[in-house]
């Protein structure tokens, strides 16, 4: 027999749990962010007011259903796959790529965070919290389209200007003053041209039109050639190439990898003193190749290590500085190759940027080494 005292205690505890539940329900209900909860069979057991407002469905229309009826068909399958991998491993997952369809058939894009709720090691619920980013995405797209149109429009007159600057330099460059002015003009045009190319890359990245032409590439001759080219352009520095390997094969877009390496080398030159050396090395680490570009320049503070890869992020002012886009683009290129890019640095001593890329099967002897473009991307229009 359970004693009256125990029963009373139990009643108090149940009341407390009920009250707690009421508070949690109120909090979930009042959240401005849509929230959906399913049981471990993926049947909806709760949606809040914000979710009802977003989707147009009433709560009793959806309870017990699998949320897949919301799918628009526009979310990449890989996103759902990744989400499931995370949830099944008991990990949270967040993405900005989910596009769903409301009851009226209107598409909306959400920034979603998914997480499993566990009890005694067993997943009992899956929770999805959302933030409607449809309007934000539309504005981003308009901005990107505008950027792309503006960049294309600027490209043509810039090409003409560059030609004019070169003709002027050839015709009137024998006078030192003229030569300096025309060289400055040429350099500024190249800087603008570089910005235009970077903006076009950004607009391609953001609209998903950034495609790679992958082929078998031997990084050893490619990097050696890039080093030679950079040595001719940056006479103020000694650029040294080192590799233990005779051949390192990757499956990559040769032009894009060249763009990354030239960007890293250009930065190493830009942010270090004249007459110092810049070192580019290749080494094989397990199933990856690791490319490192080191300088003994001004360095980067530790707290900026991840920020330097963000868009328009610049720490140092530099007379020939770019616009803080180079490393952002480099990171997107490396990511597209399933690789990684990071930096290690000590302020006042120098920096080393690393790029790791997956190696091509080493048994594959069909080596492809494409001749490298003549023009250097940083100076190209």
Residue 102's Cα: distance from chain center in Å? 30
Question: Binding mask 108-127 vs ligand ADP (x if CB under 6 A, - otherwise)?
Answer: --------------------
Question: Binding mask 217-256 vs ligand ADP (x if CB under 6 A, - otherwise)?
Answer: ----------------------------------------
- Give the nearer residue to ligand ADP in terms of CB position, either 116 or 322: 322
Per-residue burial over 189-202, b if 16 or more Cβ lie within 10 Å, else e, is: bbbbbbbbbbbbbb
Could you tell me the CA-to-CA distances from 50 to 131, 233, 367 in Å, in that order?
A: 10, 58, 57
CA distance 89 to 225: 45
Q: How far is the CB of 159 from ligand ADP (least distance, A)?
A: 21
- Give the nearer residue to ligand ADP in terms of CB position, either 34 or 322: 322
Q: How far is the CB of 193 from ligand ADP (least distance, A)?
A: 13
- Position closest to ligand ADP via CB: 322
Query: Using CB under 6 A, which of 289, 297, 357, 378 touches ligand ADP?
Result: 297
Q: How far is the CB of 351 from ligand ADP (least distance, A)?
A: 4
Q: How far is the CB of 332 from ligand ADP (least distance, A)?
A: 12
| Token code pair at residue 298 | 């001004």
- Give the nearer residue to ligand ADP in terms of CB position, either 8 or 238: 238
Residue 206's Cα: distance from chain center in Å? 10
- Give the nearer residue to ligand ADP in terms of CB position, either 133 or 195: 195
- Give the nearer residue to ligand ADP in terms of CB position, either 313 or 342: 313
* Closest CA relative to residue 364, chosen from 204, 248, 277, 203: 248
* Closest CA relative to residue 24, chosen from 131, 150, 117: 117
**Which residues neighbour 265 within 8 Å (Cβ) at sequence distance 6 or greater?**
226, 227, 230, 234, 239, 278, 280, 293
Do 182 and 162 touch, CB atoms closer than 8 A? Answer: no
- Give the nearer residue to ligand ADP in terms of CB position, either 283 or 296: 296
Residue 110 zone, left/alpha/beta (φ > 0; ψ -120 to 50; rest):
beta
Piece of the chain touching ligand ADP by CB under 6 A; list 134-142, 167-175, 203-211, 294-302? 294-302
Piece of the chain touching ligand ADP by CB under 6 A; list 113-121, 151-159, 221-229, 265-273? 265-273
Per-residue burial over 39-77, b if 16 or more Cβ lie within 10 Å, else e, is: eeeeebebbbebbbebbebeeeebeeeebeebeeeebee
Query: Using CB under 6 A, which of 300, 334, 341, 381 touches ligand ADP?
Result: 300
Question: Binding mask 309-328 vs ligand ADP (x if CB under 6 A, - otherwise)?
Answer: ----xxxx----xxxxxxxx
- Give the nearer residue to ligand ADP in terms of CB position, either 221 or 324: 324
Could you tell me the CA-to-CA distances from 127 to 19, 33, 193, 253, 344 in Å, in that order?
A: 21, 12, 48, 40, 38
- Give the nearer residue to ligand ADP in terms of CB position, either 255 or 321: 321
- Give the nearer residue to ligand ADP in terms of CB position, either 125 or 313: 313
Could you tell me the CA-to-CA distances from 325 to 14, 36, 247, 249, 331 in Å, in that order?
A: 58, 38, 31, 28, 10
- Give the nearer residue to ligand ADP in terms of CB position, either 243 or 263: 263
Give the interface size with ligand ADP as a residue count (CB under 6 A). 23
Q: Does 57 bind ligand ADP (CB under 6 A)?
A: no
- In eight-state DSSP terms, residue 324 is S
Q: Write down the residue that tokens 């539940």 correspond to.
A: 21
Query: Using CB under 6 A, which of 268, 289, 355, 378 touches ligand ADP?
Result: 268
- % helix / strand / coil in the chain, to the nearest 5? 45, 25, 30
Q: What is the largest CA-CA distance in the chain?
A: 111
**Contacting ligand ADP within 333-372 (CB under 6 A):** 351
> Where along the sequence are the contacts to ligand ADP (CB under 6 A)?
263, 267-268, 271, 295, 297-300, 308, 313-316, 321-328, 351
């Amino acid at each position: 027999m359970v004693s009256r005292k125990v029963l009373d205690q139990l009643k108090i505890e149940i009341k407390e749990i009920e009250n707690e539940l009421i508070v949690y329900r109120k909090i979930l209900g009042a959240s401005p962010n849509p929230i959906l909860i399913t049981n471990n069979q993926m049947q909806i057991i709760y949606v809040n007011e914000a979710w009802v407002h977003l989707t147009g469905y009433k709560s009793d229309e959806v309870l017990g259903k699998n949320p897949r009826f919301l799918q628009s068909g526009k979310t990449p399958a890989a996103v759902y796959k990744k989400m499931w991998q995370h949830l099944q491993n008991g990990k949270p997952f967040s993405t900005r790529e989910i596009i769903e369809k409301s009851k009226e058939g209107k598409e909306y894009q959400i920034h979603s965070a998914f997480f499993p709720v566990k009890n005694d090691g067993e997943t009992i619920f899956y929770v999805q919290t959302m933030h409607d980013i449809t309007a934000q995405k539309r504005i981003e797209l308009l901005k990107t389209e505008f950027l792309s149109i503006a960049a294309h429009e600027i490209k043509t007159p810039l090409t003409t200007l560059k030609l004019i600057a070169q003709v002027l330099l050839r015709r009137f460059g024998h006078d030192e003053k003229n030569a300096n002015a025309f060289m400055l003009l040429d350099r500024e045009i190249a800087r603008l041209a570089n910005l235009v190319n970077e903006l076009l890359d950004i607009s391609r990245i953001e609209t998903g039109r950034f495609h790679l032409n992958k082929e078998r590439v031997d990084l050893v001759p490619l990097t050696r050639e890039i080093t030679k080219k950079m040595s001719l352009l940056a006479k103020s520095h000694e650029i040294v190439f080192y590799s233990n390997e005779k051949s390192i094969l990757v499956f990559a877009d040769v032009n894009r990898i060249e763009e990354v390496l030239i960007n890293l080398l250009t930065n190493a030159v830009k942010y270090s003193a004249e007459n110092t050396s810049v070192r580019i090395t290749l080494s094989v680490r397990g199933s990856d190749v690791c490319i490192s570009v080191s300088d003994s320049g001004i360095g980067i503070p530790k707290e900026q290590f991840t920020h330097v890869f963000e868009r328009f992020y610049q720490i140092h002012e530099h007379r020939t500085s770019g616009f803080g886009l180079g490393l952002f683009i480099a990171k997107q290129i490396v990511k597209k190759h399933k690789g990684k890019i990071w930096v290690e640095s000590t302020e006042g001593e120098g920096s080393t940027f690393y790029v790791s890329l997956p190696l091509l099967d080493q048994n594959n002897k069909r080596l492809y080494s494409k001749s490298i473009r003549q023009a250097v991307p940083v100076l190209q229009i």
